[in-house]
Amino acid sequence: MKAQLFNANWKFWEDKDAFALVWSVPGHATDVNLPHDAMIFEKPYAESPNSGNTGFRDGKNYSYATYLDLTEADKDKIFVLKFEGVYANAFVYVNGRLAGKNHNGYTTFYVKLNDYLDFGKTNEIRVQARNGAMGNGRWYTGSGIYRDVYLLTSQALHIGPKGSLVKTTELTDDLAKLEIKLPVHNEGTLPQDFEVVTTLRDAEGNVVSQDERSYYLFSQEKTDLTYALTVSQPQTWSAETPYLYSLETALVVDRETIDSYTSPIGIRTLSVDSQRGFLVNGKAVKFRGACIHHDSGLIGAATYKDAHLRQVAILKAAGFNAIRMSHHPSAPALLAACDELGLYVMDETFDMWTRFKSDFDYSLVFDEKWQRDTKAMVETDFNHPSVVMYSIGNEIPEIGTKHGSRLARQINDHLKSIDNSRPTLAAVNGVFAAGDDIMDIMADLAADANMEFSGNVNDFMTMMATQMHNIVRHDTVSRNLEFAASTTDIAGYNYMTPRYEGDSVNYPNRVMVGSETYPPQIAQNWDIITKTPAVIGDFTWTGWDYIGEAGVGIPAYNWGEGGFGAYFPAQLAYVGDIDITGFRRPASYYREVVFGLRQEPYIAVQNPHHYGRNLIKTPWVISDSTASWTWSDVDGQSVIVEVYAPGNEVELYLNDVLIDRKSVGDDMAFVTYFELPYQAGTLRAVNYAGGQVIGENVLATADTDSASLKLAVDYASDALTYLSVEISDAAGIVVNDADVDLEITDLQGAVLQGFGTGNPKPLEDYKDNFAKTFNGRAQIIVTKTAETASLTLKSATEEVTLEF
């Protein structure tokens, strides 16, 4: 079917009257183009029923409307709308009549329009996104039509709207064999004979393989045509070499092409076992993985391929080669970016099955909808070579029970019936796997450790903090994991590093992956992973910060400032290696060192304003450090400097005076700590291996007298332009503690999409024209509406204008 973006010229309004008798677009409706996230426009407030899950933003019921003009001649055509994601409970009306609905907020769905259209007239398309039942998600969900919409059109004989599905069945250096499944529909009143012409082109557009076959369909017949295509001297796809071909399948009648479908594809094979690990094209891969959520920072959940291209490029530059989409199906735009730039993807079906995690979550419809939504995810992902494994669920409480393991088998078998080319897993948390036995496990461990355990919440949290490594290795968890891991190809271990080595011996055919892990444990994890074939990789929580689950990674010094249950205005998780603006935080460089991808040391400094205070932190937090040696009002005060480095020794110099030479990793692998009085100037770290210098790094104090407001283009694309904002000196050193109020006073030739920072506790809305820098930085995102745009940014002391 011919696909045309259907994103422009929609009307949008909050739907406050579910029993409205008049079916009309209200006068206060605003004009919007898709994708559109309505939730990011909601002002966060402390009493939001969603609480920190969505960053204290409400979900509401929203309506969208647009129009489709048709002529009488269009009666012979087929019309279908393709929605790549509407959050949530989408109802699609055509001329006031319900034409389709989809409850899942993350799956692609299709609505056939013909039975509801008035030909020769203007037709209203209306979409209601009913997201007012709170809470229904454990993170920032967004609201509304936040992904692309396409209008698909065709003749009566056409390729099905989902297009051809392609997989590699054989691969050698000389030959690849592709299996193609092509859905063809004949919705005409007469039988039809036709040809299917298949053309494969390389990245330069050259034809490398072609096939032509003749078929015959009855009227109203729908079928999947399956056939093979061979490719000589194939170029393979991997994260390291993301080579893409273009496959076009055309329906030809009387030598005229009446319909066609074109898809990028990658030629690659996958296999996994406990002895060789995970193989891509026959070569072992260890996943250096990042869990991510789906929001795009300052623009919320509105999904743009350009935003994901930028995100994927930054993740790859930071050393990741894989992502886990948490905890729902990926956006097609994200997968396209991963295909093009090269990043492996673990895609995920559900965050819950039959037991609720939020009052109004997907468990409400799981039993009726899981088969449809699993199929939707798999068919959407099918042609994306970046997707290398599927997760059938995240931290499902019932998965360790007998009934839960039966349901896992049903989901897995259904998924495999659609796509048997990719391995599967379920991401299992050891505490969840303990199920109803968790209190007995706690009592056992307390007795072994001579601890008091009465079962109250304080005892429970203390045990969780100090005994997690023993909880996940308890015999009860082992027995329950036997049920949980019996169905899938891989056992996903959430926070169960202590099981890796023992399970690789006790269960010699079990393949494991760290589907969710604590950032501070990456050195321990990676050491085991690199020497244990049965453990195929690590996916940290998280690679990229996100809105919602507010506070889980915020370092705190008073209760409520951070951690679980952080108070408003905490809005971000603040747990990502990379913050929501794309700026790499110290944990990212630590991980790069652990992965062996960085030889020079990295210097981070714990906040001297909190020196000596007890840091309240969750297991996802390393420290409160930042990469800055610019601190006001702390001269002579003690400060802790962290140096992340490979090798076995590190020297630290302040203004060319040696502070100390220490061994690496005494307290934490690849980390050395120094304590010294703060003095402005230059810190220099030098790391050694076997007495030989292998690298050095410098951190200098900014010259605040020459500091000024800087505005520059960071990333430019057709849809989005990212502008970086800094308070930095003449040498480009950011004044880390110079947080100033900024205002956009003029914007020409562009529309503001987002303005803000990585601050986990912002006091401004991302759609406002003012913000306050955080650690000396801010970000502005716009969509250009003219060839040349300009923006004027003002602080209390200066003003800067940028043309771009």
User: Do both 461 and 414 map to the same domain?
Assistant: yes
Cis bond before residue 542 (omega within 30° of 0):
yes
Residue 607 located in a structural domain: no
Shared domain check, 683 and 754? no
Nearest in space to 108 (alpha carbons), one of 414, 350, 380, 392: 380
Work out the pLDDT band at 452, boundaries 50, 70, 90: confident
Q: Structurally, how many domains does the chain consist of?
A: 5
**What's the DSSP call for residue 616?**
B
What percent of the chain has a predicted confidence (pLDDT) above 90? 91
Confidence class for position 446, pLDDT limits 50, 70, 90: confident
Residue 603 lies in a domain: no
> Of the residues 102, 134, 153, which one is the last residue of a structural domain?
153
pLDDT in the model for residue 465 = 65
Tokens of 65: 């409307």
CATH number of the domain within which 124 lies:
2.60.120.260
CA pair distance 306, 717, nearest whole angstrom: 6
Candidates 236, 255, 253; CA nearest to 245 is 236
Same domain, 687 and 725: no
Q: Evaluate if residue 490 carries a pLDDT over 90.
A: yes
- The half-sphere exposure of 231 on its side-chain side, counting CA atoms within 13 A, is 31
Residue of 719, 586, 36, 715 lying closest to 311 (CA atoms): 715
Half-sphere exposure of 162 (CA within 13 A, CB side): 20
CATH value at residue 406: 3.20.20.80
129-142 core/surface letters (b: 16 or more CB in 10 A; e: else): bbbbbbbbbbbbbb
Same domain, 383 and 461: yes
Same domain for 673 and 642? yes
Q: Which of these, 307, 316, 375, lies nearest to 336 by C-alpha position?
A: 307
Mean pLDDT of 139-152: 98
CATH of residue 749's domain is: 2.60.40.10
The predicted-structure confidence for 182-215, as pLDDT tens digits, reads as follows: 999 999 999 999 999 999 999 999 999 999 999 9
Residue 457 reports pLDDT greater than 60: no
Whole-prediction pTM value?
Answer: 0.96
* Residue 453 CA, distance from chain mean position: 39
Contacts of 96 (CB under 8 A, 6+ apart): 23, 124, 126
Give the residue numbers spanning the domain of 401. Answer: 280-542+577-593
Rounded-to-integer distance, Cα 363 and Cα 245, Å: 40
Q: What is the CA radius of gyration of the chain?
A: 28
Q: How confident is the model at residue 22 (pLDDT cuts 50, 70, 90)?
A: confident
Same-domain check for residues 408 and 328: yes
Domain assignment present for residue 611? The answer is no
Decide: 725 and 710 in contact? Cβ < 8 Å.
yes
722 and 689 within one domain: no
Last residue of a domain, one of 153, 183, 198: 153
Residues 288, 249 within the same domain: no
Same domain assignment for residues 453 and 525: yes
Which residue stretches of 580-697 are H helix? 586-594
In this structure, are 315 and 417 located in the same domain?
A: yes
Q: Is the dihedral of CA 642, 648, 653, 658 positive or negative?
A: positive
586: CB partners within 8 A, 6+ apart: 602, 604, 622, 623, 625, 626, 627, 642, 644
Q: Is 684 left (phi over 0), alpha (psi -120 to 50) or beta?
A: beta
Please check whether residue 613 lies inside any domain of the structure.
no
Using the 3D structure, point to which of 122, 153, 184 is the last residue of a domain: 153
CA–CA distance, 721 with 459 (Å, rounded to integer): 51
Is residue 598, in this structure, part of any structural domain at all? Answer: no
Is 612 part of any domain? no
Q: What is the pLDDT of residue 459?
A: 59
Q: How confident is the model at residue 464 (pLDDT cuts 50, 70, 90)?
A: low
Q: Are residues 184 and 144 in the same domain?
A: no
Do 36 and 130 fall within a single domain?
yes
Return d(Cα 297, Cα 547) in angstroms, integer: 7
pLDDT for 603-623, tens place per residue?
999 999 999 999 988 999 999
Query: Which residue spans within 46-108 are E strands per DSSP?
Result: 61-69, 78-83, 90-94, 97-102
CA distances, 601 to each of 530, 627, 685, 688, 702 (Å):
22, 12, 7, 10, 20
The pLDDT score that the predictor gives to residue 444 is 81
224 occurs within a structural domain: yes
* pLDDT value of residue 785: 97
- For residue 462, pLDDT over 70 is answered with no
Distance separating alpha carbons of residues 756 and 772, to the nearest angstrom: 7
Smallest Cα–Cα separation from 85: which of 62, 102, 98?
A: 102
Within a domain: 228: yes
Which runs of consecutive H residues, i.e. helices, occur in 161-265?
none
Q: Is the dihedral of CA 457, 463, 466, 472 positive or negative?
A: negative
Cα–Cα distance, 35 to 142 (Å, whole number): 11
